[in-house]
Each structure stands twice: as C-alpha cells, then as structure tokens.
C-alpha cells in the first residue's frame, strides 16, 4: 500500500470523535491511558491519524465503559489484545466477569422498575378515583 493510499484510509481525530461519540479530549485520554491496541500514527506535522481498526476497537471500548467496566479492566483487556494470541482464555475470563456484573445490574434495575411500575399504578389508580389526597403525606 502506498503512502497516499494509507493517508486516504486514515482518519483525523475529529472524524474519529464523530464516529465514536467520544470527545477529542477523551480520545487523547484513551491514548495516554494505554486503552488502544495499537499506536496512533502521526502525520509528519504530528497530527494523529486513526485507522478503521482503531475506530472498531474504540466502539467496543465505548460499550464496555458505558456498561461500567472499570478503566483498569479495560486497560488490562487492551494489554492482553496487544500481546497477541495465546491469552484468549484470560480475555474471556475478564469479559465474562464483566458480563456477570452487567447481568446483576440489569436484574437490580428490573427489580427497581417493578417497584416503580407498582407505585405508578397506585398513584394512577388513586388519581383516577379522585382519592389521591393523603398519599404518602408526611403532614397527615
């Protein structure tokens, strides 16, 4: 691949921010924290240039962070990927532990939603019957 072809396939930090939903500041932070799986290339003028592989990886990182994965775990996962083949079992353990935490959070939220839906029903019923006065009234 020629330099011109590589340049045409690379993306600016602004384009990557737009595609990933991360701010330019967050992208720089991810790089500083070792959360990327490869080095970010630079133009002769020092500007960052990203590849589609970088974008794909960042989209995974966004979902892992949105789901509550700690930075330390994400950093460890990135390090395992950078090391290459041979540590897939450790990657699986890390991801499965995170999935279990997410599953527990989902279950807790579903329980919360059930209580909220019940309470909404109570208020809706009392309002429809014109009997809402005194519902959880601490002054009564």
User: In the chain, pLDDT over 70 holds for what percent of residues?
Assistant: 93
**The pLDDT of residue 57 is above 70:** yes
Reading the block at residue 82, the tokens are 């950078």
Measure Cα distances from 59 to 8, 51, 112, 117 in Å: 21, 13, 29, 33
Give the span between the Cα atoms of 39 and 34, in whole angstroms: 9
Predicted pLDDT of residue 37: 94
**What pLDDT, on a 0 to 100 scale, did the predictor assign at position 8?**
54
| 3-state DSSP assignment of residue 127 | helix
What confidence tier does 140 reach under pLDDT thresholds 50, 70, 90? Answer: low
Looking at residue 133, its pLDDT comes to 77
H or E element, residue 83: helix 71-83
Count CA within 13 A, CB hemisphere, residue 121.
Answer: 6
């Amino acid at each position: 691949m020629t330099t011109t072809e590589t340049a045409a396939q690379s993306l600016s930090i602004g384009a990557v921010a737009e595609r990933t939903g991360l701010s330019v500041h967050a992208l720089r932070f991810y790089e500083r924290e070792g959360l990327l799986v490869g080095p970010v290339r630079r133009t002769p003028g020092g500007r960052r240039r990203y590849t589609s592989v970088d974008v794909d990886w960042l989209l995974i990182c966004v979902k892992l962070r949105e789901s509550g994965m700690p930075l330390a775990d994400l950093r460890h996962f990135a390090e395992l990927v950078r090391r290459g083949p041979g540590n897939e079992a450790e990657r699986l353990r890390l991801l499965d532990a995170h999935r279990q935490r997410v599953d527990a959070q989902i279950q807790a939220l579903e329980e919360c939603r059930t209580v909220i839906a019940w309470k909404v029903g109570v208020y809706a019923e009392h309002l429809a019957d014109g009997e809402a006065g005194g519902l959880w009234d601490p002054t009564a």
